[in-house]
Amino acid sequence: MAENVRVVVGQITGPHGVRGEVKIRPLTDYPERFYGMETLCLFRQGEPAGSWSVRSMRELAGRGLFLASLEGIDDMDAAEQLRGCTIEVDPAERVPLPENEFWISDLAGLEARSEDGTRLGLVKDVVDSGASQLLVITDDGGRDHYIPAVPEFFRSADLQTRTVTIRLIDGLWEL
């Protein structure tokens, strides 16, 4: 992963009230992470917009949003200036995952190999198909292959050797 890559975990959707609180829409599977955040690093269109210390953080009941009070943001106008900013963290600050679960960004770029060691290509992306997620593997000829990211086919990932192992069955690679 590139050294300057950051992970988006939320977005400021606008002000809340007249005292400068901001509404945050979580963009993470772990929204509870906001309760432990002491600083919010904000970005606008990928560029740093500033960092603010968190005075308080609370959930807006039933709305799926959080409300944050930030040092130096004391009125509605100041909060409005943060609308649209993303909240981003360093990849090292991501929530630890259970064994055999991986961040999509960690899988992209890994070499895909069959169980017998044959090179298949590179993992380009992971996409949601509704029923399951699919690994998009681009072969050396530039063709994309879609492999269900389920234990039957996605056998393992080794982030140290930067490889994933795929179990192929008849016809799967040709789809």
Segments making up each domain of the chain, as ranges:
7-93, 104-166
Tokens of residue 27, six digits = 């963009």
Tracing tokens 């950051």 back to the chain, one arrives at: 6
Q: Looking at domain 7-93, which CATH architecture does it have?
A: Beta Barrel (2.40)
| Spatial CA neighbour of 60 closest among 89, 109, 17, 102 | 17
Residue 2: band (very low, low, confident or very high) from pLDDT cuts 50, 70, 90: very low
Is residue 31 classed as helix, strand or coil in its secondary structure? helix
pLDDT for 65-119, tens place per residue? 999 999 999 999 999 999 999 999 988 888 887 777 777 778 889 999 999 999 9
Residue 64: left (phi > 0), alpha (psi -120 to 50), or beta?
left
The CATH classification of domain 104-166, taken from the options 2.30.30.240, 1.10.10.10, 3.40.50.300, 2.40.160.40: 2.30.30.240
Asked whether 132 and 148 are in contact (CB, 8 A), the reply is yes
- pLDDT for 4: 58
| Spatial CA neighbour of 120 closest among 128, 108, 110 | 110
Asked whether 121 and 109 are in contact (CB, 8 A), the reply is no
pLDDT for 21-79, tens place per residue? 999 999 888 899 999 999 999 999 989 999 999 999 999 888 889 999 999 999 999 99
CA distance linking residue 29 with residue 27, whole number of Å: 7
